[in-house]
Amino acid sequence: MSIGQDVGSWRELGRHTSTSVVLAGGVLVGAITIYVAASLLPTAVQDIGGRPLYAWTMTAFLVAEVVATMVVGQTLFRFGGKGSYLIGFGVFAAGSVLCAVSPSMPVLLVGRGIQGLGAGLLTGLGFALIHSALPPRLWSRGSALISAMFGVGNFAGPALGGFSAQFGSWRSAFVVLAVVAAALAVFVPRALPRGGRPAQAPPVPVVSLSLIVGATGAVSMAGILSGTLAMAAFIALGLVLVAAFLATEKRAVASVLPGSVYRRGSRLRWIYLTIMVLASGVSVETFLPLFGQRLGGLPPAAAGFFAAALSLGWSVSQLVSASARETRRLVLAGPACLAAGFVVLGLLQTEQPSLPVVLAWLPVLFFGGMGIGIAMPHLSVAAMTSAPDGEGGKAAAGIATILTMSTAFGAAVAGLLVNLGGPSVLTSARWLLFGFAAISTLGLFTARRAA
């Protein structure tokens, strides 16, 4: 089956500028916030202490984000599109302010959790309201723009955090995020159409929500442990909880994902799995600065730029590929490009590589990121159009949940692979890159079923 569609132009999307700014901006602030803390936390710890709680800043954010993405439907029904966005930006700004004034690490963790709630709500709303805020012919363009914000966030987050830490003012990064959220909230009243509420209040999937939060917490915990056996145990626990989540969802009246996902012959399940495989590949970026400094001999700033090449490839190719009408080949090529990029980059990892070899990392990373970008917007549209009547909005909101879970699971698996290769940095690099090449290869199967 082809997943081609009638595609509007970027100029046509430009007539919906305010809407695009709100939808994309909400996703962008959340994406930046995931990575901004990694660059400034070493400086923050020197200021307020709390080194034993260092790694929990990511866990608190991710778990809260997962919770928020799952209550988007309830929020929309109660407050509508405009009210929900104002709540999302308000909660995110409040969490950012709390982080900025934190006198201690426990307070910073609370702020990160509040940020995660706001970011999860904004991310879920971004995908959910494409379905109602834009005409169907612009769904591909809108999905490309919104999904590209994850790549931009991966690039801008470390830059904002590193810049703030460089000048000894880590708190200013959180102030900037709060100001940006407040500025975006100004656009909301005129950006979104009236309505945007579901026809009826979706029930709260309490059991599914508890299981998926537990799975995210377990996998996030695995990513911050140093012992390989302990990491493997928590990943196994996370997988068991995911299996329980799927079993519960299949029987539940109140489900997180559309009911069609669990029906025999469902195409939507393969679309979601392909999105998960592609999005998890970005987790490799967490360790690329380490490899750039230790193996490539790069200064920190240059190593950070190399790490952002994957996200840059994602963002640029996504905006270009949104123009395609016949998209089946792009969906199939996405996992292949990502897997090939990881394999080639793994082969280029050597002790004390020459400068030309190190420079070759850049186009290879960019090419791998293109694999995500050429497929992601069309998978998002396919998710919305493959769901039966009445489930389009829920299928769109489910994309945010899938992306959030991919971030948590990908980060934990990346940490496990790096630890398996330790203490050698070279061996760690090869374990990580070849391991994610294998994961990306699984996407060849899921993409074929999706397309």
Looking up tokens 């396919």 gives: 382
The pTM assigned to this predicted structure is 0.74
Q: What is the reported pLDDT for 444? A: 94
Average pLDDT over every residue of 168-196: 85
Which pLDDT band, with edges at 50, 70 and 90, does 4 fall under?
A: very low
Task: Name the band, by pLDDT with cuts 50, 70 and 90, for residue 439.
Answer: very high
163 pLDDT above the threshold of 50: yes
Q: Are 447 and 332 in contact (CB under 8 A)?
A: yes
Q: Give the burial class of 122: count Cβ atoms within 10 A of its Cβ; 0-12 exposed, 13-18 middle, 19 or more buried.
A: buried
Q: Which residue has the higher pLDDT, 76 or 300?
A: 76
Q: Which of 228-232, 335-339, 386-390 has the lowest mean pLDDT?
A: 386-390
Can you tell me the mean pLDDT for 320-327? 75
Cα dihedral across residues 353, 357, 362, 363: positive or negative: negative
Mean pLDDT of the region 184-208: 74
Q: Are 174 and 100 in contact (CB under 8 A)?
A: yes
Confidence band for 200, pLDDT divided at 50, 70 and 90: low
CA-nearest of 277, 285, 249 to 403 is: 277
Instruction: Report pLDDT for 198.
Output: 59
Amino acid at 196: G
pLDDT grade for 49, boundaries at 50, 70 and 90: confident
The CATH number that domain 7-199 falls under is: 1.20.1250.20
Both tokens of 202, joined, read: 């979706």
Kindly list the distances between the CA atom of residue 400 and the CA atoms of 67, 90, 129, 234, 305, in Å, as whole numbers in the listed order. Answer: 11, 19, 12, 24, 27
The pair phi, psi for residue 388, each rounded to 5°, is -60, 165
Of residues 301 and 263, more confidently modeled: 263
Specify the amino acid at residue 96: S
The pLDDT value given to residue 1 = 41
Fold of 255-451: Growth Hormone; Chain: A; (1.20.1250)
Q: Where are the domains of the chain?
A: 7-199, 255-451
Least confident of 52-61, 323-332, 353-362, 407-416: 52-61
